Amino acid sequence: MSADPQTSRPDRLPWTARAATYLYPALVALVLVAVWEAVTRAGLVSPLILPSLSSILQTAVAKFPLLMQMSTITASEFVLGFALSVAVGLPLGAMIVYSRPLETAFYPILVAFQIVPKAAVAPIFIVWLGTGLSSKVLIAFAIAFFPVVIDTVVGLRSAQPETIQLLRSMGGSPFQVFWYVRFPNALPAIFGGLKVASTLAVVGAIVGEFVSAEKGLGYLVLVANGELDTRLVFACVLTLTLLGIIFYFIIEIIEKVVVHWHVSARQVETLGGGS
């Protein structure tokens, strides 16, 4: 008896199950928004502490050109910081895997650097590079690159020894072992690190703007906070959240395209596929 094609493929989902994966979070968000609006409208919370969502949206619309101008600056900072963390983290992780002396020399330093609070060293970066774009990019890089390195190391070391030995027995070079075995096997772990790094890069850019900046969403938050304009503060936070979510899902879309063959790219479908 032949298997049902709808149940034999884990990457297939009934449309009801697919809709549920988006419906449930949307319902929870709507309930939270309704409670927020009701509490603030009833005057149970001071507008200086928590303005209503409708007033925040009105402020966002009124200040839209300003928010977009500041968003462009902040987005360029965390995107460049993320790109730098990838450019440094991937090769460094590969070198740690392939060089035992390099791992012994640099791995403890990387761990120690990660433990140091970046908000404490951010002023040093400002002194070195000034208040311009480069200092914010460096801070975003410093916060974001560690997950890239660690997940690259974990991914490259997770390749099955039997597969590596088989390729070597067939005359495969070290580069071929890396390119055809280790690197493809490491991609799911690497993308996990990239998604974590994408969120940390946003945090790094804002930390840099909080320390010293003349423009950007972080700078605008400080200005609005100084003027007790809570609605503008929340509008900036909302804008920054949307930027971070968009950036995260761009990485996730790239992951689904690159590692569509891996179970991690079909997690939702597998969980909802049934028997």
Q: What is the 3-state secondary structure (H, E, C) of 174-224?
A: HHHHHHHHHHHHHHHHHHHHHHHHHHHHHHHHHHHHHHCCCCCHHHHHHHH
- For residue range 259-272, list pLDDT tens digits in order: 876 655 555 444 44
Give the whole-angstrom CA distance, residue 226 versus residue 219.
Answer: 11
Residue identified by tokens 């600056």 is 73
Between 87 and 118, name the one with better pLDDT. 87
DSSP 8-state secondary structure symbol assigned to residue 3: P
Mean pLDDT of the chain: 84
Query: Is residue 138 predicted with pLDDT exceeding 80?
Result: yes
* DSSP three-state, residue 10: coil
The number of CA neighbours under 13 Å toward the Cβ of 246 is 10
Give mean pLDDT, residues 59-86. Answer: 94
Query: Is residue 9 predicted with pLDDT exceeding 50?
Result: no
Between 211 and 4, name the one with better pLDDT. 211
Best CATH choice for the domain 51-264 from the list 3.30.70.270, 3.30.1540.10, 1.10.3720.10, 3.40.50.10490: 1.10.3720.10
Provide the pLDDT confidence category of residue 153 given band limits of 50, 70 and 90: very high
Yes or no: say if 201 and 85 are a contact pair by the CB < 8 Å rule.
Answer: yes
**DSSP per-residue codes, 76-120:** HHHHHHHHHHHHHHHHHHHHHHH-HHHHHHHHHHHHHHHHS-HHH
257 vs 18, 79, 249, CA distance in Å? Answer: 19, 20, 12
Give the whole-angstrom CA distance, residue 219 versus residue 69.
Answer: 12
Residue identified by tokens 């055809």 is 180
- Classify the C-alpha dihedral 17-262-140-69 as positive or negative: negative
Residue among 132, 269, 101 at smallest CA distance from 212: 132
Indicate whether this model's pTM tops 0.85: no
Yes or no: say if 215 and 73 are a contact pair by the CB < 8 Å rule.
Answer: yes
Give mean pLDDT, residues 57-75. Answer: 93
